[in-house]
Structure 1
Amino acid sequence: MWRRLASAVAALLVLFVGSLAFNAASGQSHWPGPLDFVRVHPWVVLLLLIPLALVGLGQPPRPGRRQDPLPPTAYRLPPRNPNFTGRDATLREVRQRLTSADDVAMLVVHGMGGVGKTQLAVEYAYRYLPKYRFVAFLDAEAPDLVAPQFVSLAGELGLAEVNSEQAIPRVYGNLVDRRPWLIVFDNAEKPGTLTHALPSGGLAGNGHVIVTTRVSGWSGSAGVVDLEVFTRQESMKLLVRRVPGMTEALADRIAEQLGDLPLALEQAAGYMGYNRTTPERYRELLASHLEDMIGQGEPSDRPAVVVATLWRLSVDRLQTEQPQAVRLLELCALLAPEPVPLDLFTGSPETLDETPADALAWDTTVGALAGLGLARRGEASLVVHRLVQAAVRAAMPAEAHTDARVRLCRALLAAVPDDLHSDPDARPRWQQLLPHVIAVTRDDPPAECAAETAVLLRLASEFLVQIGDFSMALALCERALALDESIGNRDPEVGFDLITLAQIHRDLGAPETSRRLAERALTVHEACLPADSPAIATDLATLARTLCILGEQEAARPLAERALRIDEAAYGPDDPYVSFDLIALANVHVDLGDHASAAPLISRALRIREAKYAPDHLYIGYVLLFQARVLHALNDSTAADLARRGAQILHTRLGRNHPKTEDAFALVGSLQGGAR
């Protein structure tokens, strides 16, 4: 409209300037004819010209003349999700990268199934719809069906009688006059399967292409945005908004159980909304029936898509192309949703049916899981999302589940350190493997691996005692004892379980229970092991410490001395096991009031441990605190410094709020106060 008005005004100016030029050329003093009338009556002429200009402005444009831009046209764009949550930063990143100065016209949104790639692309299309003249949404999961969709798209653009071979170039040629345009290829496979459908040459700069995929390997073809699961805040926001009665605390716990996977959260909201299930009840169902719950409920925008079947096609494809990768995935499905060290599988020949013989074969086996979005690969580890694990477990036949459980028990038993006292690398290895040991031993074991499960449970409880988690250690060791007693012919193992339980009860403040268990362990081991067995030394030292707590120091002293002699003969004078016997004997002397006899025993134990353990090992911290108490009783001024060093070790290893750390700092305070 404004262009037409400008044209009319320009025409009047041309007429006026032309008349002036005519008069100047003729040299006349007045304007002839009608022009003289213009000079005499200019306002009358202007009033006569205004209606004519308005009539001219109201005329339709001539054929072929460029018209105002039409509103954007959308082809097969799914409905907008009214519950779309978060992702604002990612949407801005997608927009910025598509419109950046270096003219990147194609962007790949990559992520695991259910993470919300399609929803992000749909939301982007709607949010920036006014910026485009044409938007198309194509299903790229089946490469052979992409060209037929372009035939349909050609018809939408008014291109008649276009076959499959002509459709793609004809569509892009037509879109030159509709730029800027946007085409989304949803759920694409490997880059090579979509090359024929992407714009090339000069056509590539006329619009934007977004590809969503769960398959890796696109970085050489386009820029890639890796879409991760929701942040916990995004998960909680969605659940609180969608589910009546949902509190932030419950939303946090449900999101944790669902691994913050957007599809699973939508599915959960759909389930609770349809069944009128309370959030607390839904959380309980997730905890007890996760494999079943991932098949229940429907997202409001995609009723046919549920977590239980989300990865089935990928697994079926792997079964055909790389069956060893499926075996690896099934093993990971029974482990914790934590990083799984890959050497767990390569270190045990029984873990996989056929451990790949060379590095390349093994690398491609692991890479297949990462490539299809079924796992996230680290430098030396693999992480499988907890819901991928649940879906795989739900689809595993009972025989496959049992076989995988047996293989994992044996592999873990070969991988965990069984000498927690003398192995300096035991602690970090156990921290890495403990979640997986707990996951594999959670349920009653198959008969084929009951013995291995019992040993794993006891070793795990011994490690938990070492780090101060006595309540979990107690539960695991009680299960180990029950298993060993049910198997039969396991007397040495039963004795190990009993003495570990005795140590736990002693540390939990139940010395009478500890004494009964330690005496039973000693009786069992003396009946089935040689008299000089180090296992008997452990029983003796444990019983001696417990008797001290009960005030029976005189009965404890010969037990502690015998334990020391057995271990010195078995291991040598400088072995870490000897340090435990030295501490046990020193405790007896302290309880008898003989601090002078205890001091050299503690000093020797400290030297042994400092030579074997890291400077901040808990065992060194405990000895330092014990030494500080004894030296303080002997009026030694170095006691406060020793206590301070020991307390700092416990603070580093156990945390400031751990009861043992609090006791250590209380000791430091009392020694410093005494020094003043």
Structure 2
Amino acid sequence: MFRWYRYSTRCYVYMPDLPVSVNIERGDEFRNHSWFKRGWTLQELIAPTSVEFFAKDGVRLGDKNMLKSQIQEITGIPVSLLQGTSDVSSFDTEERFRWAAKRQTTRGEDLAYCLLGIFGISMSIHYGEGEEEATRRLKAKVFKSKQRHDEWRKRVENRIWQVPFERNPCFTGRTAELDHIHRQLFTQHHTAKVAITGLGGIGKTQLVIELLFRLRDEYQDCSFLWIPATTNESLLQAYRKAAQELCIPGWDDKETDVTQLVQSHLSNENAGRTVLVFDNADDIGIWVKQRTPKARRMLDCLPKGDHVSILFTTRTTELAIKLISKRECLVELPEIGKRDGKELFRKLLVKQDLLNNEDDVVALLKWLTYLPLAIVQASMYINQNKCDLQTYLSLLSEQEEDVVELLSYDFEGHGRQDSDGKNPIATTWLISFVKIRERDALAADYLSFMACVDTKNIPQLLLPPGPSRKTKTDALGTLQGYSFITIPSVDAAINIHRLSHRKISGSIGGRWP
């Protein structure tokens, strides 16, 4: 006879038929007790953190940790499992079935039902179906569960991590954006595609790198592929490298369309969950135009399936909208704000006492418009030249040419991910300006003109006339798409980003290519 009580992670087993003087080490009374012969005893021993045993008059005999050797001998359950140092899933199915051999239950079906927790599966309970049918259903469930687990383990062993960057230890903030992108990537019933847009230097690439490292820890069976999409050549080269990593037959055949190879392979569910990143997808022509008369557009070369998640970083909203399937998947990245800006600055500065002057810190961050890359660049200049914040602020008040030179200061490391390790804020925007001029000459002319006026409240009537109202609207749309300007409403005055205004105005006179 016995009674047992279970409270959360603790279980108490009362055996009043055992005398207080029972010899647990050598006697058979404890060993042959009916409690150990029950089917449900297995779960009651394994699941709770603590199981305590009591004899007649409530005398405590010990707990499962103290009595682990005796309980292992009686039940066959390994000591490591009783102590909680190993998980039940680490033992093969045959061994777990051996633990249940020769056990007794009041109902025949319970011989199968009592093992559900041991195998970590759920199954409908039908009393009256009989022991044989319940056992048959249990074994079928266990087989499928084992099959799924084996497939998962295989995906874990074969997963690809083709992300050529280390995690940035100075990454700061962006919690809301990270959570939103995560939801969009992993709650879809179709190919999930998310585009992250924003001004050059806003931290798009850094955000994605941080996200991937978090996802790698959470989704152990997921592969991650990084595709630099700056040019057609870099994109195709990365596709071929991905095909090689994935061991796709024909990857080394120069005549084969490698984009089709990768697309077909990853679209197959057997490839497993995959996250692809297309970084710096700024050239709209690569995505919407055919590379050759026979080759397809890159937009048509993306893998498909609800096991596929795709991330794009781009400076242009126009392309971002073409790449995604719904509005929620467009993430327009803002500056990081005062609090996160100060925290990033703190992580970067070598001389922490520079932060003691709160007014100087706020003034500098405000001047830099809380732009992450500008903050990193300023920090590196201050660290390497051992100047204080007042000195740096005074340099920013110099003539335009000096400010442009300051904004063009090269630096390495601290999370910047360009191939040559050097891409200051001025160079980043120069790339954007070149892209704009290639696409829309009128937009480039407007940007140069506005740089000669002011940063705020520029009337649209001041702009040089374009060939038509549509071309003017398109040009302003292009500049907004690259986040160089903002227009609160139709026909409203134009505001130009302060740092881009400084760079462009200081570069008039032939210094822009």
Return the match for 1:301 from 410, 415, 423.
Answer: 415
> Is 2:197–2:314's contact at 8 Å kept on the other side of the alignment?
yes
> Is 1:292–1:394's contact at 8 Å kept on the other side of the alignment?
no
Shift of 1:328: 1.5
Change (3 A) 1:152 1:11: same
Change (3 A) 1:263 1:3: closer
Return the match for 1:272 from 382, 387, 393.
Answer: 382
Change (3 A) 1:283 1:191: same
> Is 1:77–1:122's contact at 8 Å kept on the other side of the alignment?
no
Shift of 1:74: 1.1
Shift of 1:260: 1.4
- Listed as ranges, the matches of 1:608-619 within 5 Å are none
Return the match for 1:212 from 313, 317, 324.
Answer: 313
One-letter amino acid of the counterpart of residue 290, structure 1: V
Matched, 1:85 2:172: yes
Shift of 1:103: 4.5
| TM-score, L = length of structure 1 | 0.47
- Listed as ranges, the matches of 1:267-416 within 5 Å are 267-288=377-398, 289-298=402-411, 300-302=414-416, 303-345=421-463, 352=464, 355-379=465-489, 380-397=492-509
Matches of 1:399 and 1:372, distance apart in 2:
21
- Listed as ranges, the matches of 1:222-261 within 5 Å are 222=324, 223-243=329-349, 244=351, 245-246=354-355, 247-261=357-371
Matches of 2:424 and 2:90, distance apart in 1:
55
Partner-residue secondary structure (3-state), 1:115: coil
Matches of 1:137 and 1:208, distance apart in 2:
12
> Would you tell me which structure has more strand in proportion to its own residues?
2
Return the match for 1:167 from 258, 264, 276.
Answer: 258
Per-residue displacement from partner, 1:145-201 (whole Å, max 9, x unpaired)? 312211111111222432464423333444433422211100102556336446879
Match of 2:182 in 1: 95
Matches of 2:470 and 2:376, distance apart in 1:
40
Matches of 2:216 and 2:450, distance apart in 1:
43
Shift of 1:215: 0.9
> Is 2:442–2:475's contact at 8 Å kept on the other side of the alignment?
yes
Partner-residue secondary structure (3-state), 1:209: strand
Return the match for 1:127 from 191, 196, 214.
Answer: 214
Per-residue displacement from partner, 1:120-139 (whole Å, max 9, x unpaired)? 11111012212342111111
Return the match for 1:185 from 261, 278, 283.
Answer: 278
> Is 2:198–2:482's contact at 8 Å kept on the other side of the alignment?
no
Matches of 2:175 and 2:150, distance apart in 1:
41
One-letter amino acid of the counterpart of residue 391, structure 1: K
> Is 1:185–1:211's contact at 8 Å kept on the other side of the alignment?
yes
Matches of 2:303 and 2:380, distance apart in 1:
46
Structure having the higher Rg:
1
> Is 1:147–1:197's contact at 8 Å kept on the other side of the alignment?
no
Match of 1:221 in 2: 323
Matches of 1:67 and 1:371, distance apart in 2:
42
Matches of 2:477 and 2:431, distance apart in 1:
17
One-letter amino acid of the counterpart of residue 456, structure 2: E
> Is 1:239–1:265's contact at 8 Å kept on the other side of the alignment?
yes
> Is 1:146–1:197's contact at 8 Å kept on the other side of the alignment?
no
Per-residue displacement from partner, 1:522-561 (whole Å, max 9, x unpaired)? xxxxxxxxxxxxxxxxxxxxxxxxxxxxxxxxxxxxxxxx
Shift of 1:140: 0.6
Partner-residue secondary structure (3-state), 2:442: helix
Matches of 1:201 and 1:269, distance apart in 2:
39
> Is 2:263–2:303's contact at 8 Å kept on the other side of the alignment?
no
The percent identity for this pair of structures is: 20
Shift of 1:392: 1.0
> Is 1:290–1:390's contact at 8 Å kept on the other side of the alignment?
yes
Partner-residue secondary structure (3-state), 1:122: helix
Shift of 1:395: 2.0
Matches of 1:153 and 1:238, distance apart in 2:
34
Match of 1:194 in 2: 287
Change (3 A) 1:139 1:202: closer
Partner-residue secondary structure (3-state), 1:68: helix
> Is 1:295–1:306's contact at 8 Å kept on the other side of the alignment?
yes
Match of 1:653 in 2: none
Matches of 1:130 and 1:211, distance apart in 2:
21
Shift of 1:94: 0.7
- Listed as ranges, the matches of 1:496-507 within 5 Å are none
Partner-residue secondary structure (3-state), 2:196: strand
> Is 1:180–1:207's contact at 8 Å kept on the other side of the alignment?
yes
Partner-residue secondary structure (3-state), 1:336: coil
Matched, 1:158 2:272: no
> Is 1:81–1:301's contact at 8 Å kept on the other side of the alignment?
yes
Change (3 A) 1:329 1:100: same
> Relative contact order, CA 8 A, sep 6+: which one is greater?
2
Match of 2:38 in 1: none
- Listed as ranges, the matches of 1:480-559 within 5 Å are none
> Is 1:268–1:297's contact at 8 Å kept on the other side of the alignment?
no
Matches of 2:303 and 2:433, distance apart in 1:
39
| TM-score, L = length of structure 2 | 0.61
Partner-residue secondary structure (3-state), 1:225: strand
Change (3 A) 1:86 1:67: closer
Matches of 2:332 and 2:172, distance apart in 1:
17
Aligned pairs, number: 349
Change (3 A) 1:183 1:339: farther
> Is 1:117–1:227's contact at 8 Å kept on the other side of the alignment?
yes
> Is 2:242–2:262's contact at 8 Å kept on the other side of the alignment?
yes
Partner-residue secondary structure (3-state), 1:203: coil
Per-residue displacement from partner, 1:605-656 (whole Å, max 9, x unpaired)? xxxxxxxxxxxxxxxxxxxxxxxxxxxxxxxxxxxxxxxxxxxxxxxxxxxx
Shift of 1:396: 1.2
Matches of 2:434 and 2:302, distance apart in 1:
37
Shift of 1:235: 1.4
One-letter amino acid of the counterpart of residue 307, structure 2: N
Shift of 1:287: 1.8
One-letter amino acid of the counterpart of residue 310, structure 1: T
Change (3 A) 1:144 1:373: farther
Shift of 1:320: 4.5
> Is 2:395–2:403's contact at 8 Å kept on the other side of the alignment?
yes
Per-residue displacement from partner, 1:216-269 (whole Å, max 9, x unpaired)? 223243120000112122212222332222233212101111121111100001
> Would you tell me which structure has more helix in proportion to its own residues?
1
Change (3 A) 1:199 1:276: same
> Is 2:299–2:323's contact at 8 Å kept on the other side of the alignment?
no
Shift of 1:336: 3.1
Change (3 A) 1:201 1:371: closer
Matches of 2:381 and 2:232, distance apart in 1:
34
Change (3 A) 1:271 1:8: same
Per-residue displacement from partner, 1:36-76 (whole Å, max 9, x unpaired)? xxxxxxxxxxxxxxxxxxxxxxxxx99x9647252653113
Matches of 1:338 and 1:256, distance apart in 2:
16
Matches of 1:202 and 1:184, distance apart in 2:
12
Match of 1:68 in 2: 153
Change (3 A) 1:122 1:110: same
